[in-house]
Amino acid sequence: MATTKNKGAKSKNPPPKKKQRSHLFAGKKGPTKKDEAFDDVSDDQSEEEQLEAADDLLDGDEEVSDFGDASDISDDDDDDDAPLADDFLQGGDDDEERDSGSTSGSGSDSDESDIEEKSRAIDEERAREEEDAQAEMQMNIKEESDEFRLPTKEELEAEQQRPPDLANLQMRIKDIVRVLSNFKDLRQEGATRKEYIDQLKMDLGSYYGYNEFLIGVLVDMFPVVELMELIEAFEKPRPTCIRTNTLRTRRRDLADTLSKRGVELDQLSKWSKVGLVVYNSHVPIGATPEYLAGFYYIQGASSFLPVMALAPQEKERVVDMAAAPGGKTTYVAALMKNSGLIFANEMKEARLRSLTANLHRMGVTNTIVCNYDGRELPKVLGQNSVDRVLLDAPCSGTGVITKDPSVKTSKSLDDIQKCAHLQKQLILAAIDMVDANSKSGGYIVYSTCSMMVPENEAVIDYALKRRDVKVVPCGLDFGCPGYIRFREHRFHPSLENTRRFYPHVHNMDGFFVAKLKKMSNAKKNPVGFDSSETVEQTQRPEEIHSDEDNEKELEQPLKKQSIKGKNNSLKKNGIPANGKVGSSPTLKNKERSENGKVESPATSKKRKRKFPSKEEISKVREEKRKAMRENKKQGREDKKTGK
């Protein structure tokens, strides 16, 4: 059975063996030295194989028959290959077939093995590269995760004696920010967060040029990662924006005209219908014929926001308490379509020229320019006399460091406190001018270009405690809500309706906007109010005097009540009000009040002063005018009769 299987297999396989063997030997032109050496080796191997074959013949007939069959088949198949035929002792056909089959098989296998080896080599090389990359990444991670060491005092002293190494400072700032962002895992053993914060303040001040106070306030307000974004944003200029003057043109027409002049611009944003942002210009944007004709006003995007929050209506009476150079005033006039009345006040006389020039250039005709201290405006214009007030208060300018880098080093705690004190006086004056019974108004908008909490949330919280007002939404769809709590300070919850704008978030100058609604013309009684509940402040003598003038009406009822209680207790004990034992006061030293009660001169002086109403003032003026006219007529008649 074995022989038949082998014969069947042999009968089927010879044709491909012939092709392979002829293909292998047909290509050989002549033996080379390598081939001769190979033949010698093959002869030696054939002799050994012959000896092994003879041993196999002695072992059994089955193997002999196998060899015989194989030789017969090989003889039949190899008739055409006579030169290759040889007897058994010189290497029979079986060996040649075996060798040729093995060589042909080894040739095909070698080709496949070569491909496999190449692909395997490529895979191994790729795996080796991946391992190297992984090892390098792990090494980098290990280096980054190494514990950052704070510089010692000796190192800091040595740095101070040398010129600042900006590259070293920048690297150390990044390391400190990285450690503070994951302080639990990356902190130095034994080092506190305060030590890292102090070192960060020092490095930021040295690298970016901030003084110790301002960088300390910014570190307290923002997380370290956001702080770095804010400081980097302060180093870049904000985009140039222009506001279309709708009194003279439309935004689409203005954009087409400026585009023809080589100005590359686009709409500012969805929240503004009149704003355009200028990317590039081949002509001076502040000297085009359109600018001189009043078609647009060069204005920062953040300056749009207070006027949009104020939302003035037509035929209203509006006050801009700090109007120069006129950007917001002209915007208010455009929204009112030159109707109603606007009082544009500016305290500094030198800035009145720019204010007046811009009003004329932009075609504003409903505005009266005045030059008063904003704190005195209620006495000039009258209390409860206007519908809306816009107070863009003077501030420290910590939100516009991009425009004025000197703020980094020029501002101190004393400057912030003085600004905050002035702002509190101005906002009380603004509230007093607004009429709570106005049909369309009764709103006050307070804004600053500062990011300091004492100038923003603390001022609004102060106004809420001193006047009957409430904080209402600004009407702006974007912006960050104001602080309700900041460090040890706690403010009214409605301050969430205020809005803060940051350079690194909104790509505009730092700004604060708050909108107040006056609920009644009555003033709150600040019983138990302590100004230290908000933010501590220093007061100059003249500021203290003016503040007392503003709050005189509120303090008089309290003093009157305390004096009455004291006098009553003294009278019960038989002691006069002055604390001295003497004769009882006579009627000559007393005055009668309006209700008929007898009061001492000291008490009558401390009575609340009653201001006349507008109707009474106009009535008195009219009477004076009539009297003057009658006197003039009488004088003329006397002259005629005398003649």
Binding residues for S-adenosyl-L-methionine: 322-328, 346, 373, 392
β-strands 317-320, 388-392 pairing: parallel
Identify the CA nearest to 239 among candidates 506, 536, 574.
506
DSSP letter, residue 214: H
How far apart are alpha carbons 625 and 619 in whole angstroms? 10
How far is it, in rounded angstroms, from Cα 106 to Cα 99?
10
For 411, the token pair is 């501002």
Catalytic residue among 395, 419, 449, 474: 449
Residue 414, C-beta contacts closer than 8 angstroms, at least 6 positions apart: 538
Rounded distance between C-alpha atoms, residue 332 and residue 326, angstroms: 10
Tokens of 458: 């603390």
Look at strands 388-392 and 443-448 and give their pairing: parallel
How close are the terminal C-alpha atoms of the chain, in Å? 174
Burial label, 79 (beta-carbon count in 10 A; 0-12, 13-18, 19+): exposed
Q: Output the DSSP codes for 122-156.
A: HHHHHHHHHHHHHHHHHHHHHHHTSPPPPPPHHHH
Q: Which residue has the tokens 């108004």?
A: 441
Report DSSP state, residue 238.
P
Residue 364 CA, chain-centre distance (Å), reads: 35
Phi, psi of 480 (to 5 degrees): -90, 140
Q: What is the distance between the alpha carbons of residues 535 and 218, in angstroms, rounded to a whole number? A: 17
Spell out the residues 6+ positions from residue 302 whose beta carbon is closer than 8 angstroms to its own.
Answer: 399, 449, 501, 508, 509, 510, 511
The binding site comprises 322-328, 346, 373, 392
Q: What is the DSSP string of 563-618?
A: HHHHHHHHHHTT--TTS---PPPPGGG-EE-TTS-EE-HHHHHTSPPPPPPHHHHH
Is 449 part of the annotated catalytic residue set? Answer: yes
Q: How far apart are CA 426 and CA 396, in angstroms?
A: 15
List Cβ neighbours of 378 (8 Å cut-off, separation of 6 or more): 429, 432, 433
Residues identified as active-site: 449
